[in-house]
Structure 1
Amino acid sequence: MTTRPDRAGDAAGVSRRRFLAGAAGALALVGLTACGSGGSGGASASPTAVGGGKRTITTALGPVEIPANPQRVVCVDHYTPGALLDVGVTPVGVADFDTNALLADYVPRLQGLPKVGKSNEAKPEKVAELRPDLVLGTHLAHAPDPNAESYKAFAPTALFAAKTAGDWKDRALQAADAVGRRAEGEKVRQRYEERAAGIKKKYADALARTKWSMVQGGRSGEWALVLPGSWGGVVLVDAGVQFGASSAGQQGTTKNFSVEQMDALADSDVILVRGNSDGSIAAQVKPVLEQPVWQGLRAVKNNRVFPLPYFNTLHYGQAEAMLNKIEDILKQL
């Protein structure tokens, strides 16, 4: 997953007049709801009335006091929606998303929800319209959400730090905890870890005698190795996969090569190419597969090239889907 730099013109999000009007309107709606008579549904009740108290959690931007039982959660990034669905919580609004970046089973459940704008730069007025009692998102130190302070006018805002690609595991648990589902989040994590350990043990022989590489497209005339420390690379590591020499021990998430450098894959017995959520090969990698030198690789000659979805793993549900695919491949080796 590539994060685009923030545009300077987006920093304000909305004009001061529109922002203050939106904030006032949103807060007025919440106030009217809180003053209404009892017996209304959860979406209409006040956050404090339903939540039954507050608690403080740690976030990337410091401690934040949140409802103990939030009812109207808005996700302003593309990480937390999947993590919430993993523990049985559906947000009332989400940032825009690429369907191929989400677990296929979750796409229908999120497509019908109100959208609040781009991931990590949602529109404050769109967030306010949904009357959230909690806003969740991700804090990228190199590209912070320019509207993070604005969300706080409508609801407690918890942004969790993304320090490395593989720490989506920690942030998934933090998101579950924020909505009062930490126990469920722990169970999801345990299920994933047990599944990965089971594959590592069951297919130890096949894993010991094979080297794997993850490949995606790049700029014209280039391709990239996706490395063990990447979002999806950590899932392969957990399953006991050994990476080829050009990937093993490398820092970062990707390493670029020219098409003339396909020999970087020469020792790979299995090549995983970026796939879509439906299992098809992603369009961005197809030019790589059309290179004449590609056809001479050992893995290609042995029919051991497989599309793998969720290279940019966002949550445990996706990671489990990756493990299922990895096991399917191991059965063929």
Structure 2
Amino acid sequence: MTSVPSPAPVPSPALARSPALVRPGAPARRMRALRPAVLGVALAVTLTACGSSSGTAGGSRDKSTSTRVVSTAHGKVTVPAHPLRIVSVHSWSTESLFDLGLKPVGVENSGANYVPPRYLKGWKATAKVTTGADIDYEKIASLKPDLIVGVDVPYLSKAYEKLSAIAPTAFSSFGENSGWTEFPDATAAFVNRTARLATLKKEYADRITAVRNAHRSALAKSRWDVVQGGFDNGNYWIYGPGSAVGEILGKLGVRFASATASVAAGDTKSVSYERADLLKDADYVIYYTNNDGSPANNIQKLFGLKTFKSLPAAKNGHLVGTADFLPGSYRDALGVVDSIETALKAKRG
């Protein structure tokens, strides 16, 4: 569930799916275009969990003083070996907590329409402790957390000291050279559920292999562009092969159309809605939707243009929407793969 937003003050990665958040795969200057938690910037996370206790997920938990030491964006932090009351202040962390079978007691408010459907019920049932950079410290303290997790985007980095005064706080690093997988790796290390994460990783790898093998010919022949409605006035964004969705498409073996292929790694290109012609050689266009399937972030402005409607991808019905466009968890990534396979199956039919 997440979210994200960049050239000016950038919204937070915890809300990466909404206009105020930031997601991996777009430059920092573009971050405002994505969910409040993550947009336009690549991410770097280096986490190594070490220390004393290693409980098994789902087993009996030591509620005493058993602790572990984890490496975070703010150095080594001592955290509970088996945290019981976790607050997440970033959507990427929240999604992975749900993936790992955990129920946080507090989460970020990224906007319900930006929360992927699989997480929506759990997200709605959980107390909200942030809205973008507006953090409710009193609310967080009232939840009596034994661990606070998140991503070290600028506004959360500034809040780190206050948050760590409430409970041990572990943030994954946020940089420009890493991909979306860094975040689930970090969260799993913080909460001592790396074994559960390994299962998710295998499921994702197996799914990539299965879809690539089943649709090898169609994937190799088709060309794809990756776009999102932008928050620059009158512009939409083109994502490159190094974006999160681009990386997933690459693993499946697709070729990129010229618009996406021309975008440098870790960057996005902001272009006028009037330049729909840039997508003229794409067989498929994949784009971001709200969790109800409606186009997100103003991309309908592009789709409504006569020049866009005349493009091959539009005329052939090859517009592939996904609410997982800004993946921050393995279930998100699996959702992207599902959307791509559904589109390829529709072509066959």
Does TM-score exceed 0.5, indicating one fold?
yes
Separation of aligned partners in 1, 2:112 and 2:333: 16
Q: 2:197 matched to 1:185?
A: yes
The aligned counterpart of 2:110 is 97
Give the Å deviation of 1:233: 2.7
How is 1:234-313 mapped onto 2 (pairs within 5 angstroms)?
234-248=247-261, 250-251=263-264, 252-282=266-296, 284-313=298-327
The aligned counterpart of 2:206 is 194
Letter matched to residue 93 of structure 2: T
How is 1:211-226 mapped onto 2 (pairs within 5 angstroms)?
211-218=223-230, 219-226=232-239
Computed over aligned residues only, the root mean square deviation of the Cα atoms, in angstroms, reads: 2.2
Moved more, 234-243 or 71-80: 234-243
1:200/1:5 Cα in 2 relative to 1: closer, same or farther (>3 Å)?
Answer: same
Letter matched to residue 67 of structure 1: P
The one of 5, 8, 26 equivalent to 1:2 is 5
Q: Higher helix share goes to which structure? A: 1
Mark the runs of 5 or more structure 2 residues left unpaired by the alignment: 12-60
Preserved CA contact (<8 Å) 1:120 1:145 = no
The one of 46, 58, 71 equivalent to 1:58 is 71
Separation of aligned partners in 1, 2:283 and 2:87: 44
Give the Å deviation of 1:120: 5.4
Say which SS state the counterpart of residue 168 (structure 1) adopts.
coil
The aligned counterpart of 2:341 is 327
Preserved CA contact (<8 Å) 2:221 2:254 = no
Letter matched to residue 58 of structure 1: S
How is 1:95-244 mapped onto 2 (pairs within 5 angstroms)?
95-119=108-132, 121-140=134-153, 142-164=154-176, 167-218=179-230, 219-244=232-257
Moved more, 221-230 or 59-68: 221-230
What percentage of residue pairs aligned between the two structures are identical?
30
Cα deviation, 1:246-276, whole Å, max 9, x if unaligned, reads: 2125223421112332221111011123212
Preserved CA contact (<8 Å) 1:166 1:231 = no
1:183/1:249 Cα in 2 relative to 1: closer, same or farther (>3 Å)?
Answer: farther
Preserved CA contact (<8 Å) 2:85 2:144 = yes
Preserved CA contact (<8 Å) 1:82 1:102 = no
1:286/1:166 Cα in 2 relative to 1: closer, same or farther (>3 Å)?
Answer: farther
1:162/1:100 Cα in 2 relative to 1: closer, same or farther (>3 Å)?
Answer: farther
Give the Å deviation of 1:294: 0.8
Letter matched to residue 326 of structure 1: I
Equivalent pairs, count: 292
Preserved CA contact (<8 Å) 1:165 1:253 = no
The TM-score normalised by the length of structure 1 is: 0.81
Q: 2:69 matched to 1:69?
A: no
Say which SS state the counterpart of residue 100 (structure 1) adopts.
helix
Separation of aligned partners in 2, 1:89 and 1:68: 14
Please say which structure displays the higher CA radius of gyration: 1
Cα deviation, 1:14-63, whole Å, max 9, x if unaligned, reads: xxxxxxxxxxxxxxxxxxxxxxxxxxxxxxxxxx9605511100101111
Cα deviation, 1:66-95, whole Å, max 9, x if unaligned, reads: 111111110111111110110100111111
Letter matched to residue 263 of structure 1: D
Say which SS state the counterpart of residue 255 (structure 2) adopts.
coil
Letter matched to residue 238 of structure 1: K
The aligned counterpart of 1:315 is 329
Separation of aligned partners in 1, 2:241 and 2:94: 25
Cα deviation, 1:79-125, whole Å, max 9, x if unaligned, reads: 11110110100111111122233220211111121111224552222
The aligned counterpart of 1:23 is none
1:49/1:325 Cα in 2 relative to 1: closer, same or farther (>3 Å)?
Answer: closer
Mark the runs of 5 or more structure 1 residues left unpaired by the alignment: 8-47
Letter matched to residue 5 of structure 1: P
